[in-house]
Amino acid sequence: MKNKTHIGNVVLILDRPTGHPRIRVLMGHKRPKDERDRKRCRQRIGIDRWVPPGGGTEPSDKSQKHGAQREVWQETGLRFPLKAFRKAGVLRGYAASVVKPLWLVHIYAVHAPLDNRTFIPNEEYTEMKWFSLARLPFEQMLPGDREWIPKIAKGQRLTIKITGNHNEVDVFSVKVKPIRSFN
C-alpha cells in the first residue's frame, strides 16, 4: 500500500507581534468525534484537544498561504489579508516504520490587531480562547506542540519532525531545528 502525504496548514493567531513578552495565542478546543464525522468519513486531527486553526489544502487553494487564509476564516470567522500570513515553520509527521511523511504541514503566524479579535468558531470547535505562552494547556494539546508553538510565537522559524504511530497519541520523537529562511 502506497502512503499518501497529506498537505495542510496551521496558523498561530497572535494578539501581539511575534516576540512580544506578553503574547497570547488563539487556540480552539476541537469537539469530540461524533456522527457527523462518521457520515462524512472525515479524519480529524486534534479531537478533544486544544489546537491552533488549520486543516488540509484543497484543490481550489491557489497556494499554501491561500489555504491557511481560508482555514482561518472558515474556523474562526477572522479575515486577514494574505500579506499578514508569515511563514514560520514546516512540520513533517512520520509513522515509525514509514520513510515518506504522512503529514506535511506549513505553519504560519499572523498578528490579530485589536480591531480584528472577535472570532466565531465553526462546528469543529467547542470553544476558542486566548492563552498566554505560560498558560498554554500542553497536557490537553497534541504531543510535540510544547516543543514548537512557544518558539514560533517568539519569532523563530523552524523545521519540525515528529515521529510516532499512525494515531496522534504515541509520539516517539520531536526534532525541532531553527532555520533562517524558507526556499
- On whether residue 26 sits in a domain, the answer given is yes
Domain assignment of residue 47, given as a range: 6-178
Q: What is the pLDDT of residue 14?
A: 95
Average pLDDT of the chain is: 88
- On whether residue 1 sits in a domain, the answer given is no
- On whether residue 120 sits in a domain, the answer given is yes
CA distance 139 to 160: 20
* Count of domains forming the chain: 1
- On whether residue 93 sits in a domain, the answer given is yes
Whole-model pTM: value is 0.90
Query: What are 86-132's pLDDT values in tens digits?
Result: 999 999 988 877 788 988 999 999 998 776 677 888 888 999 999 99
Q: What is the pLDDT of residue 47?
A: 84
Distances (CA, A) of 68 to 55, 127, 171: 8, 20, 25
* CATH label of the domain that carries residue 43: 3.90.79.10
- On whether residue 183 sits in a domain, the answer given is no
CA distance 76 to 120: 5
